[in-house]
Structure 1
């Protein structure tokens, strides 16, 4: 057989195999046999595997054709098949799948003035026997095809969308006998209404009851197959009866052996008369490795490799030649093909509005939720238009760029028109993990959703007098988010109710802040006016003693001004006194030593431990904090005021760094240590907490420092915002970083990476200044030896830029921050808590 490059591409790419592609499905024969046997025995089969392990392909291109061929001995080969995805309204999705033409015999619904879907849905909602009753009624209509199979693809949607409202995403397909193909689609066939309500309370439970009841009626030729990602197995415990059904009928998709991988790779090519070079075949098998998550990425790489080879063959460059490493390398190999291909699709869009719509589109149809698990969010076109603020006409070319004949990133496939009821979905979850741009969009969307949820919750609490209006950095950050994201009610609906209340709360906070500023100004002006009025009044009343009255009025004015100054500056004076005290103590204990920077030690030996000093223990919840905990312990010992002798890893950590004490009498000592930690830049949110020792017996005056657990995702977002376009957002991010993460090694590492030589060129001058400002105000104790080396490299790099003239744009303020960072790095090397002079 000679190769025909013009024939269809035998590799499906990211999408699952279809039923009519059974001849291209290699390497799973033994697995299909095992699935058929288990389904025959239990009537409920749960095909479980990691994302990308081939669950859907195994069902639609392996199991279903086998059933149609009569491989299940207890049945004939004639099957009715209903396919659905649960989405937000699973019972309606099931009714629509059963109501599609050819799935069940005519119900006579039209004679009653209903659609078949409406009549079936009403019966399903009667009780947990609804599905069994619908099947029995079908048998009573003399249906010759008595085998009914319900396939619930991507069953994990049931957990993710359980509490959300929005458009339902359903999918249905039909099959008559062996000659009828089944296709899975969430496209124009979706018939949910344009304004689909959210899931009714308990609908998920009712849906599970309908399916699990099938297992109690083995006498019926009624079968259920679900496909589900293995990382959602634990969520099944939310429903009574579901864990038992899955335990009895679970089929965990096994890894392919090396021979099965070879068959899956070269089988389709041989079927088209092509050959794969043995070197490339071995490379592909090795690149696939032992991770089943890579199967979808392999299929995409093979699809692209075949397309490249076919184009060369048709041009006469490599006619009849085998597919080689050159074809594979040209598409970026498995490691880069998908990201490269997706970038090509994105790059094909004109700059400006189309690319902005692409970003908003992918943010709308993917979701990360409150955990790290990304899931697809199939969404109707009319809902997308409302969320994105666009029209079908403007959205269509953006969708087409990602689903043309050479790209299958979005569903429905090319050629299916985009109607208001059409459901748009990504073809596979692997796109969310491998396309780096989409991953960054997902991070940004998750952060935006978190801000909205927090704002909506604050608005709810404020309505019941349990929360104050936003002020300070929180208000600045919220306003910057609102200005940047421009949220709408349609967008917010997917993340929870309360949008109007949240926006009203934000607006009220902004008005309140403006009112406070005005009040402060008016109060000051009234004070000045009052003093002046007193002076004028006494001058007029005592004209005969004008000079005496004038002197008295001046004295009163001076006293009033002094009192105002005293009140307004009281806290600043107090803080200054405490800082001066700490600075004096540190100057005595951390005296500079000749050659300290070179030797890595800036103090004399630790003073002996005072047995009467309060004992201090360090607790940290992240192994990356161990070095910082030990460094902080060493600094406290060198003061000679504490017995800091232990550092321990714990399973749980607080949201802010805490100094815990166990007796009310130790409050003053705890607050003094809090002030010390704040002075050492451990964060402005450090707090003293009185705890119940329970069954423990703490030592007298025992204190414990519990280091906060760092939100790495928030840190990354804040560091990125330091170089953003919005000045208010930059200031808010810098304030939040300095207040909350000045002692976080993760934040320091992210800031250093931002100014690395490979990234520096993309950072504006303002971004450089903000990042340096955060670094120069970080806690020296948080700098590990690796971070100190990176900091020294940054200083050298900035010095080179200044020397060569590339740093001519450095402002005086930026130069001061560079000098401050140099001083801080000296303190790091000398193991001092702060640079001298701070």
Structure 2
């Protein structure tokens, strides 16, 4: 506050607005003034001499081999990886999307390996890609000792089955010869590697999982690149970043993207919280990335993206919305899902997918508008999702299926133009409709049977009455009855 009062620095937005509230000032007006001042300072810093130094943060890009000197936080994993390779020829590194598998391999492992390295992404033609990379080993024939690093190994499972089988066989031959093989695979595909007959034996004891970063590792990843470049981070900025990344490992790339922007807006040797807030912080980094990916989608894909993000939101009931972990079985695998995973906006792990950070729920205006549009319809859909999952888990027990009003509400939602029920939900609704039709038919049959039974009983009663009347008439003819009746005293009277 003393530095701010003397004009030596801009106070943080939180401090400035707290002071305004304490003085009963107009908060909205002073919030606008603070942003204008922060923007002006950022503009001056960018134009100042010496402000063009390249930021030491890669932002949303993965670290490369040339970034080894500024890659911090995963030294323990790199050491473990090197020790495993000294004993074994086949190692698998696995972690959720956004956890840094690519950075560990490129900036951590490769610079510390002395033998020739072949680094590749398999794509849809893994065998051809591998052959091309091997051919680039000038002066090192393929049978010489080398390290083969296959990053984003999960792409192999999109390749042609025959080429995939040949690629697996080539990996195993390389491992059995003089090469060492390291696979980097997303956590939700690690089990597929272990279960695959061609890879099961090689990968059974080869897995190195990337655990979430500790607080000390997060701090090193945020602070040390700037420190090595001759700058520091204000304590308030470090505390803010640590809080935003805590328990949300997918948020670290966006924190470094926000620091990259802050670096460019800072003049002097200290990155401040005020400068960080002026650039929008992690919220602006994530919202900007989300909008960029969404803007590149075709209209049908944008509708699919809307459905994806609405599934990833946990609806609050009088409380803020939160991230929701969506099981893999709930999402049909599509290129749209893969795009947001590659952009690190959606984190894919062993158990399912979730938003990389809570700030997307409030910080991305498009998602905020989707969530506010029709929350009643969203709740109908969420109940349908849960019911469909319960039905599948109970081995499709008919008692779990929808009936009556529940079914009507779900069908009404499914008929909306923007509704995108997934495969389990469509199966559940179809089974519920079929059950209702069967129950209605059974009800009609019961009613027809009841009516037939009543009619049969009525006919039987009429038949019985007729038979009794005839029998009575046979015993007492009509003339006899008239005679007896005419001679009776009461008849005379």
TM class, shorter-chain normalised?
0.5 to 0.7
Per the alignment, residue 98 of structure 1 pairs with 130
CA distance 1:541–1:49, shift in 2 (3 Å)? closer
Among candidates 423, 434, 439, match of residue 513 of structure 1: 439
Is 1:447–2:380 an aligned residue pair? no
Q: Distance in 1 between matches of 2:149 and 2:326?
A: 27
CA distance 1:491–1:541, shift in 2 (3 Å)? same
Instruction: Name stretches of at least 5 consecutive residues in structure 2 with no aligned partner.
Output: 1-48, 314-324, 362-366, 372-377, 473-493
**1:5-45, Cα deviation, whole Å (9 max, x unpaired):** 9x6793423x6334565565345567646644643553323
Among candidates 88, 94, 99, match of residue 42 of structure 1: 88
Is the CA contact 2:93–2:208 (under 8 Å) kept in the aligned structure 1?
A: yes
Per the alignment, residue 72 of structure 1 pairs with 113
Which secondary structure state, in structure 2, belongs to the residue aligned with residue 47 of structure 1? strand
**1:422-480, Cα deviation, whole Å (9 max, x unpaired):** xxx9664387155566999997796366367469x65xxxxxxxx9xx57965556776
Q: Distance in 2 between matches of 1:377 and 1:478?
A: 22
Per the alignment, residue 264 of structure 1 pairs with 221
Question: Structure 2 matches for 1:136-155, cutoff 5 A?
Answer: 143=141, 149-153=147-151
CA distance 1:361–1:21, shift in 2 (3 Å)? farther
Is the CA contact 1:4–1:272 (under 8 Å) kept in the aligned structure 2?
A: no
Per the alignment, residue 82 of structure 1 pairs with 120
Is the CA contact 1:376–1:426 (under 8 Å) kept in the aligned structure 2?
A: no
CA distance 1:248–1:142, shift in 2 (3 Å)? same
Is the CA contact 1:44–1:245 (under 8 Å) kept in the aligned structure 2?
A: yes
Question: Structure 2 matches for 1:403-802, cutoff 5 A?
Answer: 409=340, 411=342, 428-429=347-348, 432-435=354-357, 447=386, 450=389, 453=392, 470=398, 474=402, 484-485=413-414, 492=423, 508-530=434-456, 533=459
Is the CA contact 1:11–1:268 (under 8 Å) kept in the aligned structure 2?
A: no
Question: Structure 2 matches for 1:375-390, cutoff 5 A?
Answer: 379=333, 381=335
Which secondary structure state, in structure 1, belongs to the residue aligned with residue 113 of structure 2? coil
Q: Distance in 1 between matches of 2:329 and 2:228?
A: 34
Is 1:304–2:258 an aligned residue pair? yes
Per the alignment, residue 52 of structure 2 pairs with 4
TM-score (norm 1): 0.35
**Structure with the larger RCO, 1 or 2 (CA within 8 Å, 6+ apart):** 2
Q: Distance in 1 between matches of 2:295 and 2:193?
A: 42
Is the CA contact 1:42–1:248 (under 8 Å) kept in the aligned structure 2?
A: no
Q: Distance in 2 between matches of 1:96 and 1:20?
A: 26
Q: Distance in 1 between matches of 2:167 and 2:51?
A: 49
Is the CA contact 1:10–1:272 (under 8 Å) kept in the aligned structure 2?
A: no
Is the CA contact 1:28–1:260 (under 8 Å) kept in the aligned structure 2?
A: yes
**1:270-290, Cα deviation, whole Å (9 max, x unpaired):** 68886532442355457656x
Is the CA contact 1:45–1:249 (under 8 Å) kept in the aligned structure 2?
A: yes
Among candidates 54, 57, 63, match of residue 103 of structure 2: 57
Is the CA contact 2:71–2:225 (under 8 Å) kept in the aligned structure 1?
A: yes
**1:703-727, Cα deviation, whole Å (9 max, x unpaired):** xxxxxxxxxxxxxxxxxxxxxxxxx
CA distance 1:339–1:259, shift in 2 (3 Å)? closer
Q: Distance in 2 between matches of 1:265 and 1:428?
A: 20
Per the alignment, residue 226 of structure 1 pairs with 183
Is the CA contact 1:346–1:355 (under 8 Å) kept in the aligned structure 2?
A: no
| Deviation for aligned residue 1:51 | 6.3
Question: Structure 2 matches for 1:175-324, cutoff 5 A?
Answer: 211-212=171-172, 214-217=174-177, 220=178, 222-228=179-185, 238=195, 245=202, 251=208, 261-269=218-226, 275-281=232-238, 284=241, 294-307=248-261, 310=264, 313=265, 322-324=270-272
Is the CA contact 1:208–1:239 (under 8 Å) kept in the aligned structure 2?
A: no
**1:295-348, Cα deviation, whole Å (9 max, x unpaired):** 5413312323543675xx4xxxx76584322345678977x7888778988999
Is the CA contact 2:257–2:285 (under 8 Å) kept in the aligned structure 1?
A: no
Q: Distance in 1 between matches of 2:294 and 2:96?
A: 31
Which secondary structure state, in structure 2, belongs to the residue aligned with residue 12 of structure 1? coil
Is the CA contact 1:288–1:295 (under 8 Å) kept in the aligned structure 2?
A: yes
CA RMSD of aligned residues (A): 6.2
Among candidates 272, 289, 304, match of residue 357 of structure 1: 304
Is the CA contact 2:98–2:253 (under 8 Å) kept in the aligned structure 1?
A: no
CA distance 1:32–1:545, shift in 2 (3 Å)? closer
CA distance 1:211–1:445, shift in 2 (3 Å)? farther
Is the CA contact 2:194–2:200 (under 8 Å) kept in the aligned structure 1?
A: yes
Q: Distance in 2 between matches of 1:250 and 1:543?
A: 95
| Deviation for aligned residue 1:103 | 1.8
Q: Distance in 1 between matches of 2:329 and 2:56?
A: 28
Which secondary structure state, in structure 2, belongs to the residue aligned with residue 103 of structure 1? helix
Which secondary structure state, in structure 2, belongs to the residue aligned with residue 46 of structure 1? strand
**1:511-564, Cα deviation, whole Å (9 max, x unpaired):** 321211212332343345445545666777888999xxxxxxxxxxxxxxxxxx
TM-score (norm 2): 0.53
Task: Return 293-302 or 513-522, whichever deviates more.
Answer: 293-302
Q: Distance in 2 between matches of 1:20 and 1:453?
A: 49
Among candidates 13, 17, 21, match of residue 63 of structure 2: 17
CA distance 1:145–1:260, shift in 2 (3 Å)? farther
Which secondary structure state, in structure 1, belongs to the residue aligned with residue 62 of structure 2? coil
Larger radius of gyration: 2
Q: Distance in 2 between matches of 1:145 and 1:322?
A: 52
